[in-house]
């Protein structure tokens, strides 16, 4: 198993991963982040053992696993930097929310020693101060091997996640992006858009509608408090799948609007009943 784990991006996910491998696997960890404040806080909070804002410092740490936990828009730049300082055959994985093209791009840099990963665990919080060693417990982690992935590297990454009490599932990188474009990226886009609509309605009514949030409004929009940089990068990286899902959503909303406008009582019940049944099935 891994002993020396380097984490690039000492934020909420990187910090949680560091705490988890420290406490569960006894690893020593090294954090790299462009933000000196993240390194300082990470060390103060005991989230990382050591850290630096310089990629070059990773060379002396000699990691046996490197984990990318930066926003997906920074992957290419980070990969370039890592390529300069890492020995060949060091295993690399990531926690990014989009896979597809990025997995093949990472393989261009690191060959079969890159194993794409996506823990389906998280919250709207960002920043190292929210790190939680239990974040991955009983959560799904999707690994996205390709023909090129080294089988031993894949087994090691799978085993590591299982030791953190996560359930590992394999998926094709592009299928992953269709699935999470629908179930994760679309709901986040809709939550952000709902807040935009609420701002416009507040202006038009001259009433600050944000002063009257009910439970439903709070439940529905929690994820609109998520980090803008992270979500800009996800939306742009998974653009095609997301645009397709947004289009379907617009049509569903148009349909609902039509049923309300035309007072189609029976059809409205059917529409709501079907939606309710799907929701009940999830839990
Ligand atoms: N927040 C969540 O619930 C989940 C996030 N993810 C993925 O995990 C990754 C990290 O997300 P969070 O930890 O939530 O974000 P975060 O904002 O808490 O942390 C990201 C960290 O990366 C650093 N960073 C940015 N560019 C960098 C660069 N070029 N080099 C080095 N460090 C850099 C930032 O300074 C920051 O400390 C993202 O790819 C995201 O898509 C995956 C599952 C859940
Ligand atoms: O806050 C929530 O409920 C989330 O859905 C968190 C989340 C964000 C991004 C991911 O790729 C996975 C999980």
Bridge-based pairing of strands 167-170 and 140-143 is parallel
3-state helix, strand, coil in the chain (%, to 5): 60, 10, 30
- Pocket flag, ligand 1, residue 34 (CB < 6 Å): yes
Is the distance from CB of 156 to CB of 91 less than 8 angstroms? yes
Q: Confirm or reject: Cβ of 16 under 6 Å from ligand 2.
A: no
Q: How far is CA 130 from the centre of its chain?
A: 15
CATH topology for 175-282 is 6-phosphogluconate dehydrogenase C-terminal fold (1.10.3660)
DSSP secondary-structure letter at 181?
I
Q: How far is the CA of 139 from the centre of ligand 2 (A)?
A: 12
Q: Which residue has the tokens 């696993």?
A: 65
Tell me the sheet residues that pair with 93.
67, 115
Evaluate whether 4-171 and 175-282 have a shared fold: no
> Could you tell me if the CB of 221 is within 6 A of ligand 2?
no
Digit-coded pLDDT (tens) for 67-114: 999 999 999 999 999 999 999 899 999 999 999 999 999 999 999 999
In terms of Cα–Cα distance, which of 208, 193, 164 is closest to 2? 164
Q: Is the CB of 123 under 6 A from ligand 2?
A: yes
Kindly state the tokens that stand for 102: 């990025």
Answer yes or no: are the C-beta atoms of 56 and 81 closer than 8 Å: no
The CB of 72 under 6 Å from ligand 2? The reply is: no
Q: Which mutation among 95, 102, 118, 122 tests ligand 2's pocket best, with the greatest number of atoms within 8 A of CB? A: 122
Distance 239 CA to ligand 1 centre (A): 19
> With 90 as the cut, is the pLDDT of residue 127 above it?
yes
207 CA to middle of ligand 2, Å?
32
* Tokens matching residue 192: 């952000």
At residue 8, φ and ψ (nearest 5 deg) are -100, 115
Backbone angles phi, psi at 234, to 5 degrees: -65, -50
Contact of 189 with 235, CB cutoff 8 Å: yes
122 Cβ inside 6 Å of ligand 2 = yes
**pLDDT for the residue 271:** 98
What distance in angstroms lies between residue 210's CA and the mean position of ligand 1's atoms? 28
The per-residue pLDDT for 283 is 82
Name the percent of the chain lying above pLDDT 90. 99
* Ligand 2 centre distance from Cα of residue 155 (Å): 25
The whole-number pLDDT of residue 2 equals 96
Boundaries of every domain in the chain: 4-171, 175-282
Residue to substitute in 96, 119, 120, 237 for testing ligand 2 pocket (most ligand atoms within 8 angstroms of CB): 120
130 burial type by CB count under 10 A (0-12 exposed, 13-18 middle, 19+ buried): middle
CATH architecture of 4-171: 3-Layer(aba) Sandwich (3.40)
* Rounded distance from Cα 253 to ligand 1 centre (Å): 32
β-strand 50-52 against 117-119: which pairing, if any?
Answer: unpaired
- Tell me the ipTM for this assembly: 0.99
For range 120-131, the mean pLDDT: 97
Determine how many CB atoms are found less than 10 A away from the CB of residue 26.
10
Rounded to an integer, the average pLDDT of 32-55 is 98
Average pLDDT on 185-192 reads 98
Is the beta carbon of 234 within 6 A of some atom in ligand 1? yes
The span from the CA of 68 to the CA of 48, in Å, is 15
Determine if the pTM surpasses 0.95. yes
At 146, list the tokens.
């390709």
For residue 1, pLDDT beyond 90: no
Tell me, letter by letter, the H, E, C secondary structure of 149-207. CCHHHHHHHHHHHHHCCCEEEECCHHHHHHHHHHHHHHHHHHHHHHHHHHHHHHHHHCC
């Amino acid at each position: 198993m891994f002993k020396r784990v380097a984490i690039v991006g000492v934020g909420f996910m990187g910090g949680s991963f560091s705490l988890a491998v420290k406490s569960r696997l006894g690893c020593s960890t090294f954090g790299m982040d462009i933000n000196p404040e993240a390194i300082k806080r990470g060390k103060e909070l005991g989230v990382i053992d050591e850290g630096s804002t310089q990629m070059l410092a990773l060379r002396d740490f000699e990691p046996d696993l490197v984990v990318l936990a930066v926003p997906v828009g920074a992957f290419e730049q980070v990969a370039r930097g890592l390529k300069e300082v890492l020995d060949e055959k060091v295993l690399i994985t990531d926690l990014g929310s989009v896979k597809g093209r990025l997995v093949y791009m990472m393989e261009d840099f690191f060959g079969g020693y890159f194993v794409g990963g996506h823990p389906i665990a998280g919250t709207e919080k960002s920043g190292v101060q929210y790190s939680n060693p239990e974040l991955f417990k009983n959560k799904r982690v999707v690994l996205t091997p390709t023909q090129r992935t080294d089988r031993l590297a894949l087994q090691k990454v799978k085993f590591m996640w299982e030791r953190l009490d996560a359930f590992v599932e394999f998926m094709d990188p592009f299928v992953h992006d269709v699935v999470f474009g629908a179930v994760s990226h679309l709901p986040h886009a809709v939550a952000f858009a709902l807040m935009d609509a609420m701002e416009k309605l507040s202006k038009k009514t001259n009433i600050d509608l944000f002063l009257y949030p009910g439970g439903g409004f709070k439940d529905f929009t929690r994820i609109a408090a998520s980090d803008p940089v992270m979500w800009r990068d996800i939306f742009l990286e998974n653009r095609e799948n997301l645009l397709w899902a947004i289009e379907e959503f617009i049509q569903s909303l148009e349909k609902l609007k039509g049923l309300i406008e035309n007072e189609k009582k029976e059809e409205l019940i059917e529409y709501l009943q079907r939606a309710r049944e799907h929701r009940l099935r999830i839990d």
